[in-house]
Amino acid sequence: MNAYRNLKREEISTLEMNGCQAENWHNVYVTDQFDPHCLHRVTFYGTAHLGSCTGSIEVSDGFVKRCGIVNATLRNVTIGDNCLIENIGNFMNNVIVGNQCHISNVCTIETRPDANYGQGILISVLNEVGKGNLLLFDGLNSQLAALMVKQFGNKAFNKALNALVDKFINDSRPECSTIGNNVIITNTNEITNSVIGDGCHISGGSRLSNCTISSTINNPITIGTGVICENSIISGGSKIINSVKIVDCMVGEACELSNGFTAASSVFFANSYMSNGEACAAFCGPFTVSHHKSSLLIGGMFSFYNAGSATNFSNHAYKMGPMHYGILERGSKTASGAYLLMPANIGTFSVLFGKLMYHPDTRDLPFSYLIAYSDTMYLVPGRNFATVGLYRDIRKWPNRDKRRIADRKSIVNFDWLSPFSISEVLRGKKILENLRAASGDNVSTYNYHEYVIKAPLLRKGIRYYDLALRIYMGAVLKRHLPVVPASHAGEGPWVDLSGMLLPASEEKRLVDDVINGTLTSINDVLDRFVAIHNNYNEYRWTWTYRMILDYYGIDNLDAEAVERVHADYVAARREWIELIRKDAEKEFNLGDVERDVLDEFVNQLESEVDFENSKLYM
């Protein structure tokens, strides 16, 4: 804390000679290092606390300016040491500014009586016209957000969690708008009721109102030209640039919103990238990507998702309003021009083509293609399991995590074959086998709800699913032999909580502990997520051990059984790699892929035959 004193008579004289004036000079307090020669044409109202201004600031590469305050009207402000504040067109009112800040060509920065800094705002995701199911606050991560939405109907949980959120917000609520240390704000119109963290760079922004910008020196945030942010929270490492407009939103770590993208009542987490398009009531989990101006994400929950151009979701199923929603599980994609009528549920790593009606639910048929052709809906089960696209996706995500390890709030588990996805594979394989048993082999097509499955593709789907099972079992087994699971934790159903994979029993235990008061703070809840994630390998082994016994019809894993599982794994993995190679060659045969690109990819595949050198499961 700086020690402040009143101005000396000679300092007041110098200030007045420099064109400065004050409502009352006795309400202007300074430190002993204060230099009145650094202030020119400044008008003070209310109370001001001024630090040293003897240093200099680099305002552009190689361009250094002396610190000071020039051409500004200030009311009830605290200015830290060695700042340059110049050309404030309107005023700064009820603001605390940290050290070594550069604030130039800004119209208004102030705190108004209704300030909540974007904290505690209740928004409605998925159900666009719902009563509100998600509380925005600075400690929110993708897991807690997903849990809020999932447990919306649990009144006891909501009451207990909301109390923890209120306490979290109240314990950190600032007395007025604050600007941290080493902040740059230039050529910006309006900043009201906002908290701006250290190292933030705002250039050309249009309006920030009721926002928390959680920037740090090591994890800075960039706000660019024409940006409007209202009632929103932005997390470290993110970029909001080029005329983005967001209202009632949460932008998580290392996200980028750019090029005119607009969003309302939506959340974006962990490396999501949004450009040109639009989102409304969307829950965008880790690595959600939309590049195109014509794409609309509305009323959906996504993660590891890529939206093709002109992707659209309809949340008006009938006449009761935009209340319908859907879930595209991790790894899904929509092709250009895809349309999905909500409500809908799409299984993991699926790809959607065309205008998909009839509210599809393919959670038990993962890795599938869904194709609309005229009025007929086709399903190609398991097809995406053996594609170049899937292979590239599961390798690229870990390498594209731009978050600093020390600052990661949202938990992201990159396992693509996990108890969650393999549970779907098991159910899918059984469904296909039952369809074949019911209709026989001498048919051309099979029907799954409103979707048509061609007979050869059903047989391939069974094979794809079996390859996935054998690859998964062998890969997990190699990491745990000869250990037998020590507990039952991990058995039963699993869930994907917006990037985090965990047993449903652990999710229920967390919910119960919030309700009964065992978890007494938001940090306790977040720490529980971390603890569960840290036990993922053991939970996975417990679940997989039982699955292996069931799959092979054995009572224990003796040496002979282990060798059988390993042999099946090696054979399945080699077949999978060969399928991907053929898919790559098919793309090469289209004529626009260079031979050296194909050769490089094939060489990469061959190096992956030894799974222990693979990063696919890391």
pLDDT digits (tens, 9 = 90+) for 503-553: 999 999 999 999 999 999 999 999 999 999 999 999 999 999 999 999 999
Confidence of residue 616 (pLDDT cuts 50, 70, 90): very low
Mean pLDDT of 203-207: 97
Confidence of residue 318 (pLDDT cuts 50, 70, 90): low
In Å, how far are 6, 68, 166, 590 from 55, measured between CA atoms?
Answer: 22, 9, 41, 63
For the entire predicted model, the pTM comes to 0.94
Count other Cβ atoms within 10 Å, centred on residue 1: 3
Place of tokens 């399945």: 572
Tokens for 237, please give them.
């490492």
Which pLDDT value is given to residue 452?
96
Which secondary structure element, helix H or strand E, spans residue 75, and what is its range? strand 68-79
How far apart CA 85 and CA 194 sit, in angstroms, is 18
Confidence of residue 86 (pLDDT cuts 50, 70, 90): very high
Confidence of residue 617 (pLDDT cuts 50, 70, 90): very low
Q: With 70 as the cut, is the pLDDT of residue 615 above it?
A: no
DSSP state of 38: G
**Would you put residue 243 in left (φ > 0), alpha (ψ -120 to 50) or beta?**
left
Which pLDDT value is given to residue 294?
92
Whose CA is closest to 329, among 409, 416, 432? 416
Mean pLDDT of 373-378: 90
Mean pLDDT of 406-433: 96
pLDDT per position as a tens digit, 258-275: 999 999 999 999 999 999
Whose CA is closest to 428, among 405, 411, 451? 451
Whose CA is closest to 79, among 51, 104, 101? 51
69 in Cβ contact with 36 (< 8 Å)? no
Give the chain's largest Cα–Cα span: 103
Query: Would you list the DSSP string of 389-425?
Result: HHHHHHHHHHHT--S-GGG--S-----SSSHHHHHHH
Average pLDDT, the chain: 93
Mean pLDDT of 445-466: 96
The residues near 144 (Cβ < 8 Å, ≥ 6 apart) are: 522, 525, 526, 529
Q: With 50 as the cut, is the pLDDT of residue 611 above it?
A: no
Distance of CA 43 to the CA centre of its chain: 44
Which pLDDT value is given to residue 1?
59
Q: With 50 as the cut, is the pLDDT of residue 614 above it?
A: no
Which amino acid would we find at residue 92?
Answer: M
Which pLDDT value is given to residue 135?
97
pLDDT per position as a tens digit, 111-143: 999 899 999 999 999 998 888 999 999 999 999
Mean pLDDT of 141-153: 96
How far apart CA 501 and CA 19 sit, in angstroms, is 63
Mean pLDDT of 56-80: 95
Mean pLDDT of 328-340: 96
Which pLDDT value is given to residue 576?
94
pLDDT per position as a tens digit, 546-583: 999 999 999 999 999 999 999 999 999 999 999 999 98
Share of the chain above pLDDT 70, in %: 97
Count other Cβ atoms within 10 Å, centred on residue 393: 18
C-alpha R_g of the chain: 29
Which pLDDT value is given to residue 375?
85
Which pLDDT value is given to residue 609?
60
The residues near 515 (Cβ < 8 Å, ≥ 6 apart) are: 156, 157, 160
DSSP state of 130: S
Which pLDDT value is given to residue 128?
87
Helix, strand or coil, per DSSP, at residue 498:
coil
Helix, strand or coil, per DSSP, at residue 574:
helix
